[in-house]
């Protein structure tokens, strides 16, 4: 029986508001498909100019030390100057990571993006998208699409490959299947990201009202406050881990980001393991992650975003250098060597490294507090300031972030 997750036994990632591996650039609001869990209003236009994009990048640079730029949206491939944007990010000294649904990624576009210096892709693929040719497909059937994209990146060479999926109540049981699929393709797939579905109804439900400054706002007018049909909006990282452990009981996260309101909420929960195409030999522990983060920061002055494939396929070297300081790496190396000893005449199998990141976005607590990701990596720029990208619609529509107030409490406040 695996131990319940205790955040104090994990490594708290050292990221902060001004020093963080990534920044979240939104060059466009436009998207070419529809995703149920999207927190951006669905529009087909809304590209920023190159000048605006460069200004956003300069704002990031003014406030934050970072390694990679997640180029998101909307879908960034809809922007007519996406190749120039990737080139600009690279020229300014960061790794461009394209966060896309992949629908517009033709072979020609991939080649041009690679020439412009793209470092990685994160493909958002899940079963609650209206994706032409893939409508009503299950998470398992969508693995064919995932594999097609991963294989194309592998052929292009030198590009990091990640997938993310929103996790809904009814798709939660598929998460172990997606982890199993990713393990099978550990040589092509570097990161799997699972993002718990949210809507702003929160734990308080109807008993909650929302205010910006001294004005009560209609939260239901925002895209992330839609009727859920009774679907759960409180799936936690622990729920996702519990589900994965039904299939992989040894699944062992090593690092996390806490919540701004709850120290023990696992808002970003990282699990990293090493394996061959046939088996996962073990999970790295908190010490490994601490050393990796610290070493990269000491050497490059930044925390690491998206390790390049050339590093992730050298699990043997990582294990051989890190085993003295990390028990998880020692166990993984021992298991790998035992496997080699059982098949002495075969060539040494390559040891790859793969990660699973589970993200638990905003939790609206029963008393109205918003439990955000402490040291949010995905801050974006709005009117020259860094803001949570997951709540941008509040700023656009109401000029500020909403705060929740339990209804009874708000009446008391109004009476005073």
Question: Hey, what are 156's tokens?
Answer: 């292009």
Question: Hey, what are 44's tokens?
Answer: 């087909």
Q: Whose Cβ is closer to ligand SF4: residue 26's or residue 326's?
A: 26
Dihedral of the CA atoms 279, 285, 287, 289 (nearest 10)?
A: 70
Q: How far is the CB of 230 from ligand SF4 (least distance, A)?
A: 23
CA distances from 384 to 57, 71, 136, 381, 404 (A): 10, 17, 40, 6, 25
Q: How far is the CB of 21 from ligand SF4 (least distance, A)?
A: 12
Q: Whose Cβ is closer to ligand SF4: residue 38's or residue 376's?
A: 376
Q: Whose Cβ is closer to ligand SF4: residue 209's or residue 378's?
A: 378
Q: How far is the CB of 367 from ligand SF4 (least distance, A)?
A: 19
Q: Whose Cβ is closer to ligand SF4: residue 281's or residue 304's?
A: 304
Q: Which residue from 292, 97, 313, 310 is spatially nearest to 185, judged by alpha carbons? A: 313
Q: How far is the CB of 24 from ligand SF4 (least distance, A)?
A: 7
Q: Which residue from 59, 149, 166, 52 is spatially nearest to 107, judged by alpha carbons? A: 149
Question: Hey, what are 389's tokens?
Answer: 């990208």
Contact 139, 165 (CB under 8 A): yes
Q: Whose Cβ is closer to ligand SF4: residue 304's or residue 386's?
A: 386
Q: What are phi and psi of 30, to 5 degrees?
A: -75, 145
Q: What region does 408 belong to: left with phi over 0, alpha with psi -120 to 50, or beta?
A: alpha
Q: Whose Cβ is closer to ligand SF4: residue 225's or residue 276's?
A: 225
Q: Whose Cβ is closer to ligand SF4: residue 68's or residue 328's?
A: 68
Q: How far is the CB of 371 from ligand SF4 (least distance, A)?
A: 9
How far is Cα 301 from Cα 299, in angstroms, rounded to an integer? 6
Q: How far is the CB of 363 from ligand SF4 (least distance, A)?
A: 10
DSSP letters for 326-352: -HHHHHHHHHHHHHHHHSTTSPPPP-E
60: CB partners within 8 A, 6+ apart = 23, 25, 66, 69, 381, 386
Q: How far is the CB of 361 from ligand SF4 (least distance, A)?
A: 4
Q: How far is the CB of 10 from ligand SF4 (least distance, A)?
A: 17
Q: Whose Cβ is closer to ligand SF4: residue 73's or residue 285's?
A: 73
How far is Cα 311 from Cα 119, in angstroms, rounded to an integer? 13
| Contact residues: ligand SF4, CB under 6 A | 267, 361-362, 372-373, 376-378, 388-390
């Amino acid at each position: 029986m695996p131990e319940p997750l205790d955040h104090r036994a994990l490594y708290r990632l050292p990221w902060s508001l001004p020093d963080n591996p990534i920044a979240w650039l939104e060059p466009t609001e436009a998207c070419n498909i529809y995703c149920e869990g999207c927190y951006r209003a669905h529009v087909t236009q809304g590209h920023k100019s190159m000048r605006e994009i460069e200004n956003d990048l300069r704002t990031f640079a003014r406030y934050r030390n970072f390694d990679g730029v997640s180029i998101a949206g909307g879908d960034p491939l809809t922007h007519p100057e996406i190749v120039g944007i990737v080139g600009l990010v690279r020229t300014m000294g960061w790794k461009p990571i394209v966060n896309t649904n992949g629908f517009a990624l033709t072979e020609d576009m991939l080649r041009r993006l690679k020439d412009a210096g793209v470092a990685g892709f994160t493909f958002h693929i899940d079963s609650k998208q209206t994706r032409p040719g893939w409508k009503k497909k299950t998470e398992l059937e969508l693995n064919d699409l995932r594999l097609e994209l991963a294989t194309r990146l592998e052929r292009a060479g030198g590009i990091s490959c990640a997938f993310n999926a929103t996790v809904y109540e009814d798709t939660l049981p598929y998460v172990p299947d997606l982890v199993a699929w990713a393990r099978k393709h550990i040589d092509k797939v570097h990161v799997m990201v699972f993002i718990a579905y949210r809507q702003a109804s929160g734990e308080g439900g109807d008993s909650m009202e929302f205010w910006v400054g001294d004005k009560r706002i209609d939260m239901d007018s925002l895209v992330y406050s839609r009727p859920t049909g009774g679907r759960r909006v409180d799936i936690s990282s622990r729920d996702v881990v519990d589900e994965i452990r039904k299939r992989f009981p040894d699944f062992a996260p090593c690092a996390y980001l806490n919540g701004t309101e709850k120290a023990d909420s696992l808002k970003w929960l990282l699990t990293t393991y090493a394996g061959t195409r046939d088996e996962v030999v073990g999970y790295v522990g908190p010490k490994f992650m601490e050393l990796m983060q610290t070493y990269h920061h000491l050497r490059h002055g930044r925390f690491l975003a998206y390790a390049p494939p050339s590093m992730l396929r050298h699990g043997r070297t990582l294990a051989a250098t890190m085993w003295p300081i990390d028990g998880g790496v020692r166990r993984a190396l021992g298991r790998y060597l035992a496997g080699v000893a059982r098949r002495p005449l075969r060539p040494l199998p390559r040891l790859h490294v793969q990660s699973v990141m589970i993200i638990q976005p905003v939790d609206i607590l029963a008393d109205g507090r918003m439990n955000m990701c402490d040291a949010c990596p995905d801050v974006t720029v709005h009117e020259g300031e860094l803001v949570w990208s997951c709540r941008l619609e509040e700023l656009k529509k109401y000029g500020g972030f909403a705060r929740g107030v339990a209804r009874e409490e708000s009446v008391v406040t109004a009476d005073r």
